[in-house]
Amino acid sequence: MAKEIQAELKSALGQARSILEDLERVGLGEVLPTGEDERLPVCNLDGSGNCRPETLEEIAADLGDCHRCNLSKERQNIAFGVGNPDAEIVFVGEGPGREEDLRGEPFVGEAGRLLDRIIQAMGFQRSDVYICNVVKCRPPRNRDPEAEQIAACEPFLQRQLAAIRPRVIVALGKFAAQTLLQSQTPISRLRGRWAEYHGIPLMPTFHPAYLLRTPSGKRDVWEDMKQVMKRVEED
Ligand code: URA
Ligand code: URA
């Protein structure tokens, strides 16, 4: 008896799925929640076509206990990223510092506290947005990450951005802006002007650690964040 019920249930579920798939073919695909059909290919950054967004958990699992570059030798913890998987704004910094390395979370030190205040001034909480870095392991003595280290880590940043597909990316500081935009232009010239990362609007601004040393830069950052808020509020 139980077997018969199971068989009936299976067939009913099969029919339901094929109805949903038919609806999808005629353009009513919203009824088939994306992200649930595991047979679909994972979306790339442009998010077009019939695809499912990868989840941040899948990406973190693939990163695993990463040893793809030599930063893994001295790091304590990977700081993968933190925040809302449906964030409208993603902040991208350079790489974990000492406190981030100890906690395994980006922007939890002094620069992070300033970033939190900037986020709050924009009308958000830290948990509303998503925060990550170009490299996920601390460069010893906070050196600039090297080309090989960036090359090893960047696919994971790309996948995080493809999974979230935010309305806006904020590149914090020279390093994130120049890496994401593949540009050598100084941050003082990049900041405040809209750019694009694979079709996603990107606003370069000064790094909060720079603002700690140069508080006069805060005015510029606030101008840049006002542009970001306006963009996020549009339509
Ligand atoms: N600076 C960064 O660029 N990222 C962090 O996570 C902390 C400090
Ligand atoms: N230099 C940097 O690396 N970042 C800034 O935001 C400003 C100066």
Query: How does pLDDT run across 40-81, given as a tens digit for each residue?
Result: 999 988 878 899 999 999 999 999 999 999 999 999 999 999
**Residue 36: is its pLDDT beyond 60?**
no
Establish whether residue 111 lines the binding site of ligand 1, counting it when its CB lies within 6 angstroms of any ligand atom.
Answer: yes
H-type alpha helices, the chain: 2-25, 56-63, 98-103, 110-121, 147-164, 173-181, 187-190, 208-213, 218-233
Q: Which listed ligand is nearest to 175 at the C-alpha?
A: 2
Quickly state the pLDDT bin for 35 (edges 50, 70, 90). Answer: very low
Measured in angstroms, how far is the CA atom of residue 149 from the centroid of ligand 1? 16
Mean pLDDT of 194-219: 97
Best of 183, 185, 206 to mutate for ligand 2, by most ligand atoms within 8 A of CB?
206
Measured in angstroms, how far is the CA atom of residue 205 from the centroid of ligand 2? 8
What pTM was estimated for this model as a whole? 0.85
Quickly state the pLDDT bin for 129 (edges 50, 70, 90). Answer: very high
Residues having CB within 6 Å of any atom of ligand 2: 173-175, 187, 206-207, 210
Handedness of CA 181, 215, 97, 70 (dihedral sign): positive
Hey, is 82 helix, strand or coil?
strand
Mean pLDDT of 159-163: 97
